[in-house]
């Protein structure tokens, strides 16, 4: 079953269970998926759906941080709950050590050296680790690999 089909099934289950919060979050996700499909006139595959989920999770993290600074814990809790629902659609994440090992292998493959090759490594790293690791973590691992 594709990720998109799983999301649709989860939406139906949330409707039957009258789980309003979960349903709202899943509808938000399906709207983002449909928007991307309409804008680009394509049918999204699992990798593209995972990229959208990643983007929505990043937005939630930023919102949580802003709400906590503004002392609005009620809104931060709502965003945290949405983030938990969205996280369920991501594949298992690599650990920091696994990310570092992948990046080191990629740097060796490309023959990159020094901070000037950051862009040269990040493109293939994004392609290889999309959905498997947080891109902020990947970027830090690339910097470390090129510095050392």
**What is the residue range of 63's domain?**
3-87
For residue range 43-98, list pLDDT tens digits in order: 988 888 988 998 999 999 999 999 999 999 999 999 999 999 999 998 888 888 88
* Same domain flag for 67 and 102: no
Q: Residue 148 has what pLDDT?
A: 67
Same domain, 29 and 66: yes
Domain tally for the chain?
Answer: 2
Asked if 128 and 62 sit in the same domain, the reply is no
78 and 137 within one domain: no
Same domain, 68 and 106: no
| pLDDT, mean of residues 118-145 | 82
- pLDDT, tens only, 18-47: 999 999 999 999 999 999 999 999 998 888
CATH code of 102's domain: 1.10.10.410
Question: What is the number of alpha carbons within 13 Å of residue 63 lying toward its C-beta?
Answer: 16
**Shared-domain flag, residues 83 and 11:** yes
Q: Is the pLDDT of residue 136 over 90?
A: no
* Co-location of 109 and 74 in the same domain: no
User: What pTM was estimated for this model as a whole?
Assistant: 0.76
Statement: residue 103 has pLDDT above 80? yes
């Amino acid at each position: 079953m594709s990720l998109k089909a799983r999301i649709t099934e989860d939406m139906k289950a949330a409707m039957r269970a009258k789980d309003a919060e979960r349903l709202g979050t899943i509808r938000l996700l399906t709207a983002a998926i449909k928007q991307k499909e309409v804008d680009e006139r394509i049918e999204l595959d699992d990798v593209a759906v995972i990229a959208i989920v990643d983007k929505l999770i990043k937005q939630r993290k930023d919102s949580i941080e802003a709400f906590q600074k503004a002392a609005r814990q009620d809104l931060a809790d709502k965003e945290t709950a949405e983030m938990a629902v969205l996280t369920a659609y991501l594949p298992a994440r690599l650990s920091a050590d696994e990310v570092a090992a992948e990046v080191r292998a990629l740097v060796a493959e490309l023959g990159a050296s020094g901070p000037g090759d950051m862009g040269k490594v990040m493109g293939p790293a994004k392609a290889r680790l999309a959905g498997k690791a947080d891109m902020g973590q990947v970027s830090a691992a690339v910097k470390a690999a090129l510095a050392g």
